Amino acid sequence: MTASADHLKALLSAHASGDDDRFYGIALQVAAKSARQGHTRFAKELRELIDASRAEKISRPASPTPVVQPRGELASLLTADYPETRLADMTLAESARGALEKVLHEQRQRGRLERFGFTPVHRLLLSGPPGTGKSMTASALARELGLPLFTIRLDGLISRFMGETASKLRLVFDAAAQTRAVYLFDEFDALGADRSAGHDVGEARRILNSFLLFLDQAPAESMVVAATNHGRLLDSALFRRFDLAVVYEPPSRDQALEVLSRRLAAMDTSTVIWEDLAALTEQLSHAELVKAAEAAAKQAILGGSDTIGAGQLSDALNERRRLRHA
Ligand SMILES: Nc1ncnc2c1ncn2[C@@H]1O[C@H](COP(=O)(O)OP(=O)(O)OP(=O)(O)O)[C@@H](O)[C@H]1O
Ligand SMILES: [Mg+2]
């Protein structure tokens, strides 16, 4: 016996948490130990198996979930995606990143929690200004968990179905109980905040109440993520109905520069003096910074260069600022 009981336990726990790197790392340790003990043939076979299995994993699509497409009426209520965004690709405040990593950890270990009668965090409220990464977060959660992302735009749902909205919501929540996925209810404030926009207030209340009822009963099978721009306007009773609320903020100067440099990772930015750009990033959201970086990169590429000149980036940032104040 060349794999110790500890190795086996570690292998199982790495497998359960979906941590491939750790899984293969432990398997390689077993191979190394076997080689040291003189079982060279076994060690060699194990290494070959690990290599083959790794190669196969890479060539397979990242998501192990079979492609699920909503059918029938459901198809008109939500859109399905298999996002590629990783959480590590996002620039986030430490508090938000910590909260999201905890969510992923609980979701990955849900079997362990459920055996003791606990459920992982599965009802999430994301609030913050436009372009700070709320929708992107839902994509990243889906990608990290290998799940499809189903997006429901509440503003569209309400204006399309009016009095029938609550029964449409029931359909979506029924699907959430059956098909494990991340369900993003985007523009969530369409339900809560907009009391002054001339909508039928009584109707909006009724829809909100049905949503909350469904949310209370939502099984831990799927994740329900609601995103809103108007965290302050939603009443605090509403926040409590979610397991966790994550607040998104405009980027700090350092975060702004990180967003720019990450988006320009494929380019040569050695001539850019980042500190000089910091003031120009003020008041721009993550999304606007990404757009400015893309504009500068495209200009450089089409001009025949892979080098971003400092002038190009500051021009693009100024242009974004102009658009914002237009
Ligand atoms: N925190 C972030 N880190 C890196 N890129 C970001 C971040 N936030 C936004 N972006 C970029 O901006 C784009 C739009 O962001 P996203 O749609 O997630 O914003 P949002 O918060 O949902 O905005 P809205 O309130 O308008 O719906 C993303 O696709 C990404 O390119
Ligand atoms: Mg969004």
pLDDT 10s digits, 121-149: 999 999 999 999 999 999 999 999 999 99
Q: Which residue has the tokens 């209370």?
A: 216
Q: Is 135 left (phi over 0), alpha (psi -120 to 50) or beta?
A: alpha
The Cα–Cα gap between 299 and 323 comes to: 18
130 CB under 6 A from ligand 1?
A: yes
Rounded CA gap, 177 and 142, in Å?
A: 16
**What pLDDT does residue 159 have?**
74
Determine if ligand 1 sits within 6 Å of the CB of residue 263: no
Residue 287 alpha carbon, nearest atom of ligand 1: 12
Ligand 1 atom nearest to CA at 139 = 18
Ligand 1 and 136: CB distance under 6 A: yes
CATH T-level assignment (fold) for domain 253-325: Helicase, Ruva Protein; domain 3 (1.10.8)
Q: Which atom of ligand 1 is nearest to the CA of 137?
A: 18
* 122 CA from centroid of ligand 2 (Å): 19
Domain boundaries, the chain: 5-59, 72-247, 253-325
Pocket test residue of 286, 289, 291 for ligand 1, highest count of atoms within 8 A of CB:
286
**Gap from CA of 282 to ligand 2 centroid (Å):** 21
Q: Which of 62, 107, 74, 83 is nearest to 176 (CA)?
A: 74
Ligand nearest to the CA of 287: 1
pLDDT at 252: 96
- For domain 72-247, the CATH superfamily is P-loop containing nucleotide triphosphate hydrolases (3.40.50.300)
Cβ 250 under 6 angstroms from ligand 1: no
The two three-digit tokens of residue 254, written as one number:
């350092």
Residue 14's pLDDT is 83
pLDDT of residue 207: 83
Whether 72-247 and 253-325 share one fold: the answer is no
Low-confidence ranges of the chain (pLDDT < 70): 1-3, 57-68, 192-201, 231-234
Ligand nearest to the CA of 126: 1
Of all protein residues, whose CA lies closest to atom 4 belonging to ligand 1? 90
- Confidence (pLDDT) at 63: 47
- The two three-digit tokens of residue 319, written as one number: 């242009």
pLDDT digits (tens, 9 = 90+) for 35-62: 888 888 998 999 889 888 877 766 655 5
